[in-house]
Amino acid sequence: MRVITGEARGRRLVTLEGEDVRPTTDRVKEGMFNIIQFDIEGALVLDLFSGSGQLGIEALSRGARHCNFVDASNRSLDVTRENLKSVGFEKRASVFCGDAKMYVDLSRDKFDIALLDPPYNKKIIDAVLPSVASKMNDGGIIICESAFNEILPEVAGEFKIDREYKYGKIKLTVYRKKSE
C-alpha cells in the first residue's frame, strides 16, 4: 500500500493484517481521488472507518488542510498513527477511537469531504450517513465505498446520490447536496 500522489507520493504505508481487514486497492483509491481532485485543497476531511488511515493520508498528501481519522479499533489507529508519523502529517491529523455514529453525532466539526469505508454488507452506511450529512459544509462531498451489489440510501438529509462508479466488486457512491 502506498501514497499515490502529492506531497508524500510513493511512500509506503503499513497495513493491517487479518481476515477482517480489506484495504482499499490503489485502483479504487485513484478513482476516488480523481472524483474529488478539485475539492481537496484546503479541505477538512473525515476518514470514517479509517483502518490504516490510507484514505485520509492520501487526502493530506494532495493538499487537505486537516483530516479526522475515526475507527473503533485501537489496533487500526496505532497503524494510522504510525503511518501519519512516517509521512510527517501528525500535526495535520486528529485520531479518534470509538463508534463512528457516536463520534459524528458528538463532533462540532463541519467537513468538506467525508470518506466512508466500513465493513461491507452490514448496513453500516445506512446507519451513519444521515449523521454525516448533517456535519457537512455547503458544497461538501460524501464518498462511500461498498460492495458493488450493496444498495445504499438514495438520500441522506440534504444529500443525494450524485454518481456511482464500479470497480470490479467494489462501488464508490458519491453524495452531494440536493439542488435547490
Confidence band (pLDDT; 50, 70, 90) for 23? confident
Across 49-54, average pLDDT: 94
Across 160-176, average pLDDT: 96
pLDDT number for residue 37: 93
pLDDT number for residue 76: 93
Given a cut of 50, is residue 32 above it in pLDDT?
yes
pLDDT number for residue 10: 83
H, E, C per residue of the chain: CECCCCCCCCCECCCCCCCCCCCCCHHHHHHHHHHCCCCCCCCEEEEECCCCCHHHHHHHHCCCCEEEEEECCHHHHHHHHHHHHHHCCHHHEEEEECCHHHHHHHCCCCEEEEEECCCCCCCHHHHHHHHHHCCEEEEEEEEEEEECCCCCCCEECCEEEEEEEEECCEEEEEEEECCC
Given a cut of 80, is residue 133 above it in pLDDT?
yes
| Residue 50 vs residues 95, 113, 179: alpha-carbon distances, Å | 9, 14, 30
pLDDT number for residue 129: 97
Given a cut of 60, is residue 19 above it in pLDDT?
no
Confidence band (pLDDT; 50, 70, 90) for 2? confident
**Which grid cell sits at 152?**
445504499
Given a cut of 60, is residue 146 above it in pLDDT?
yes
Across 126-151, average pLDDT: 96
Round to whole Å and give the CA distance between 177 and 159: 4
What average pLDDT is seen over the chain? 93
C-alpha dihedral (15, 20, 26, 32), degrees to nearest 10:
-120
63-177: CATH class: alpha beta
Residue 130 neighbours by CB distance under 10 Å: 15
